[in-house]
Amino acid sequence: GSNQARLRNSPCYGAGTVELSGQVVTLQGWQRTWLGIPVEADVHANRENVRNVVRDDALVHLEIKVGRRWRFVEFAAETPSAATQLAAALPTTQTNGFAESWLANRSFQKKVQGLPGRAWVTPTLVALNLAAYLVSCVLSGGVFLDPYVLLRLGANAGLYTTQGEWWRLLTGTFLHIGLPHLAFNMWALWNAGRLTERLFGSGPYLAIYLLAGVLASLASTVWNPILMSVGASGAVFGVLGALLAFVLRGNGLPTAIVRAHRLSTFLFIAFNLVLGALNPSVDNAAHVGGLLSGLVLGWLLAQPLEIRQARTGD
């Protein structure tokens, strides 16, 4: 689809063809205008501007230079034999380290695909956070949220939490102070959460998210009991900590996978640190508490993918 093509930096999407005529390679597919209207499009490139061609069953993966940028293309041939013929007709140029990177990435993807279940916890958590924000808007009478409404809905306020309302340590992680706060947290959760859920399994992943969120709220309360804190950032930091622990345990992630999550992780961390620096009512104790909690929990729960696959087979 067009969204996947945009995320993969592909020049076109949908049903189409790959044609070779002399020194010219032509991709025929679809693009979208700035209004979102699909239109048929041809992408042309000289053979010298095609590289890193590899076949995977009936799929042919390649990189093509359009203008000054290299774009990724995944073409699904009608049959594996047709894919073999196409790959053989395309240039054999490969960049340094591409073969090793491709094999590592493909091996990792096959292991993940062989794991049981699906990533249902992450979209559920996103939906719950969105629902809580909508309720907050309705009760506040608009997008500018009333702090007293957040307090009634379960914000983590030290003076209330430490007087027996400990449930606020959890409910506060599903509330947000505004749309930008919610958007950055959910964007980071959606990007890192689905992968982390597949690596750990839905049950352990949910435990990591909830426990990291609670411990992050507790760290915030201990650091400054008079603050009222809300937001899923502590729990999301926990997810990132668990993902880091998975790597540190020696299970490893292919470079391409790490690179795909680099931007969302960096912006999430930068946003929360800047928010904490500019807003005195936001302390970074929750962020640090969530990250450390996620690291510890991830270290304890991480298992090599081969072990989880073997248990599934049993």
d(CA 90, CA 42): 18
SS3 of residue 73 by DSSP: strand
Between the CA of residue 53 and those of 90, 100, 248, what are the distances in Å? 7, 13, 32
Is 233 a known active-site residue? yes
d(CA 43, CA 224): 58
Q: Which member of 136, 217, 229, 233 is catalytic?
A: 233
DSSP 157-181: EHHHHTTT-TTHHHHGGG--SSHHH
d(CA 186, CA 299): 24
39 — alpha (psi -120 to 50), left (phi > 0) or beta?
beta
CB 235 within 8 A of CB 213: yes
Q: Which member of 176, 220, 229, 287 is catalytic?
A: 287
Structure tokens at 200: 């750990």
Which residues are part of the catalytic machinery? 233, 287
